[in-house]
A and B are shown apart, each in its own frame.
Chain A
Amino acid sequence: ETGVTQTPRHLVMGMTNKKSLKCEQHLGHNAMYWYKQSAKKPLELMFVYSLEERVENNSVPSRFSPECPNSSHLFLHLHTLQPEDSALYLCASSQTTGGLAGAGNEQFFGPGTRLTVL
């Protein structure tokens, strides 16, 4: 595997279910991100991890719970979601969170998980 992978690619869940999204990066990066993309809207940053520590929680409801057990893996645990949480969830990684000065620290994205909450 290369780049950033995400599983599952599609997920349908009821409002009372608990599920998890998984992201893995094979780039040796130290920073990982969760984004949400709703239809026709910009990508919204949800969480940022740097060296396995959470450095950003962008006012995300507690029904979304991230976990970063090591610098290569990132999870998003979901429970009691609402239909409006249906969206494309994208994972990304970058070398560091130390700014975008110069080339080499751009964010690389996975293919996303298309989540539908019934």
Chain B
Amino acid sequence: DQQVKQNSPSLSVQEGRISILNCDYTNSMFDYFLWYKKYPAEGPTFLISISSIKDKNEDGRFTVFLNKSAKHLSLHIVPSQPGDSAVYFCAASSLSDYKLSFGAGTTVTVRA
């Protein structure tokens, strides 16, 4: 049973525009959420996280929004750059647990 879902397998966006990646979860015990970025032939690298006490966390061009009532989070990348072309994984956990539940990933392609 998949507890974290990324329903859009791919996203294509023009350079300079906003990329919005979505993630839904079902387990109400999750209270910590992360985004990982993966280039081909490399492992996933941690990008940004948010705990459930916040509804927004920003780091440079990357902002994660959390809507606990809807069990939904999103990652905004503004402005999108060609180097942002990668697979993005949403992951969730509880603060008392090391185990991460991952989504299947969204492949982002930034067009020049």
Give 1 or 0 for each of B35-61: 1 = CB within 8 Å of chain A CB.
Answer: 010000111111001000000000000
Give 1 or 0 for each of A78-106: 1 = CB within 8 Å of chain B CB.
Answer: 00000000000010101011111101011
| A76 at interface, CB cutoff 8 A | no
Q: A42-B103, A100-B93 are in contact. Are A109 and B98 (CB under 8 A)?
A: no
Q: Which 5 A-B pairs have the closest CB atoms?
A: A109-B43, A42-B102, A43-B102, A97-B98, A106-B46
The reply to whether A4 and B98 contact each other, CB–CB distance below 8 Å, is no
With an 8 Å Cβ cutoff, the count of chain A residues facing the other chain is 29
Name the prevailing secondary structure of the A interface residues. loop
With an 8 Å Cβ cutoff, the count of chain B residues facing the other chain is 27
Name the prevailing secondary structure of the B interface residues. loop
Residue from the list A6, A41, A107 in contact with B100, Cβ < 8 A: A107
Q: A4-B43, A109-B43, A110-B43 are in contact. Are A100 and B97 (CB under 8 A)?
A: yes
| B75 at interface, CB cutoff 8 A | no
The reply to whether A111 and B102 contact each other, CB–CB distance below 8 Å, is no
Q: Using a CB–CB distance below 8 Å, which chain B residues touch chain A?
A: 2, 4, 9, 32, 34, 36, 41-46, 49, 89, 93-105
How many contacting A-B pairs (Cβ < 8 A)?
63
Residue from the list A41, A98, A110, A111 in contact with B98, Cβ < 8 A: A98
The reply to whether A101 and B95 contact each other, CB–CB distance below 8 Å, is yes
Residue from the list A96, A98, A111 in contact with B43, Cβ < 8 A: A111
Closest to B4 in A: A42
Q: What's the nearest-Cβ distance from chain B to residue A74, in Å?
A: 14
The reply to whether B98 and A48 contact each other, CB–CB distance below 8 Å, is yes
Q: A40-B9, A43-B89 are in contact. Are A111 and B100 (CB under 8 A)?
A: no
Once the chains are docked, how many angstroms separate the CA of A48 from the CA of B99? 9
Once the chains are docked, how many angstroms separate the CA of A90 from the CA of B105? 15
Once the chains are docked, how many angstroms separate the CA of A106 from the CA of B34? 9
Q: A4-B43, A108-B46, A112-B43 are in contact. Are A42 and B101 (CB under 8 A)?
A: yes
